[in-house]
């Protein structure tokens, strides 16, 4: 799945939530394809429609400042109008498309990630009536879902890029690098502060992977985790049958994280972390957290 395809999935999911949460019959929106909007310039192309009866809105390039969506982009905050065609609070570059779909009451919510606008969601009615605070709140919640998904994907790609340049003294970890080359690089770093950073990145990648919607990127994350974990393992590492969540917990414990911090990073309760840790220790034949981490490294489960 390409980045554009992943964007489309996120947007379709958000539009379904927006319609369900607000009761609005029409929703549409789009994300940036050429990078985030900065400095008050740029545009968002409408790529996803839900509940529309024409294709008039599809493909519209919403420029910052133009129309209702452009106003939301420029201000980085939600905007709404009760009667779009005659509203004095917006410009009217897109009236023809709006009229073709018969829209009157419309709201627009920007998708903002780290203060940069990445897209916009719309909800609409074909009647002129005020859109209340509850409706606006549900639309904002739908936009937040998209923002969170983009944050996860951005962090995942940044970590992959960092690991590709860090461990890859012999080349990129994510590319076609022989396992022996990764192992050689790992061996030279195993006791260093740099390798501790790799171990922390390994834990972060494992925590991010389940939240990544793009299956190709998710598999790439997990593949990198596996290669990092096995890089310093003995040739015949034993299979101890740990579950993915048990490995996730050990990955953070290995960085020195407390149960509370591990729970926060993995989105779990501290009691759940303790349960996974006890189970992992039992399978590894370990009596302490440190023994469990050492045994997991010998088994090729952690870097």
Using alpha carbons only, give the angle 160, 163, 166 rounded to the nearest 5 degrees: 155
Centre a 10 Å sphere on the Cβ of residue 149 and count the other Cβ atoms it contains. 23
Q: What is the pLDDT of residue 37?
A: 55
Q: Decide: 302 and 254 in contact? Cβ < 8 Å.
A: yes
**DSSP assignment letter at 237:** P
Task: Find how far residue 18's CA is from the centre of its chain.
Answer: 19
Q: How many helices (H) and strands (E) would you count in the chain?
A: 11, 7
Domains of the chain: 3-147 (3.30.450.40), 167-298 (1.10.10.10)
pLDDT of residue 186: 47
* C-alpha distances in Å from residue 144, one per residue of 11, 14, 64, 202: 11, 9, 20, 27
Give Dmax over CA atoms of the chain in angstroms: 74
Q: How does pLDDT run along the chain (303 residues), one tens digit per residue?
A: 566 677 777 788 889 989 999 999 999 999 886 555 554 456 899 999 999 999 999 999 999 999 999 999 999 999 999 999 999 999 999 999 999 999 999 999 999 988 888 999 999 999 999 999 999 999 999 998 888 888 877 777 776 676 664 444 333 333 433 444 344 444 544 455 666 777 777 787 787 777 776 777 778 778 878 877 776 666 555 567 889 899 999 988 888 889 998 998 888 899 999 999 999 999 999 999 989 998 888 888 887
C-alpha span between 275 and 278 (Å, rounded): 5
| pTM confidence score | 0.63
In what helix (H) or strand (E) does residue 156 lie, and over which residues does it extend?
Answer: helix 133-166
């Amino acid at each position: 799945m390409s980045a554009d395809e992943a964007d489309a999935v996120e947007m379709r999911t958000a539009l379904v939530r927006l319609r369900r949460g607000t009761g609005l019959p029409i929703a549409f929106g789009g994300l940036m394809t050429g990078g985030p909007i900065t400095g008050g310039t740029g545009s968002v192309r409408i790529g996803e429609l839900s509940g529309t009866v024409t294709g008039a809105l599809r493909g519209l390039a919403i420029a910052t400042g133009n129309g209702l969506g452009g106003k939301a982009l420029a201000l980085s905050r939600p905007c709404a109008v009760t009667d779009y065609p005659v509203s004095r609070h917006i410009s009217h570059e897109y009236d023809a498309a709006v009229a073709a779909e018969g829209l009157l009451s419309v709201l627009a919510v920007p998708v903002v990630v780290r203060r940069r606008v990445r897209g916009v969601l719309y909800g609409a009615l074909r009647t002129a009536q005020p859109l209340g605070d509850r409706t606006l709140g549900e639309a904002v919640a739908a936009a937040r879902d998209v923002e969170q998904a983009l944050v996860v994907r951005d962090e995942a790609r940044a970590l992959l890029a960092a690991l590709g340049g860090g461990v890859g003294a012999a080349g990129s970890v994510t590319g076609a690098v022989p396992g022996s080359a990764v192992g050689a690089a790992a061996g030279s770093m195993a006791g260093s502060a740099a390798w501790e950073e790799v171990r922390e990145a390994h834990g972060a990648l494992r925590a991010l992977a389940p939240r990544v919607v793009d299956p190709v990127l998710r598999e790439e994350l997990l593949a990198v985790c596996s290669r990092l974990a096995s890089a310093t393992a003995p040739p015949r590492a034993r299979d101890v049958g740990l579950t993915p969540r048990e490995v996730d917990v050990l990955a953070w414990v290995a960085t020195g994280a407390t149960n509370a911090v591990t729970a926060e990073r993995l989105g779990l309760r501290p009691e759940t972390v303790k349960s996974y840790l006890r189970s992992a220790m039992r399978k590894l034949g370990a009596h302490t957290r440190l023994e469990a981490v050492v045994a997991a490294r010998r088994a090729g489960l952690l870097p």
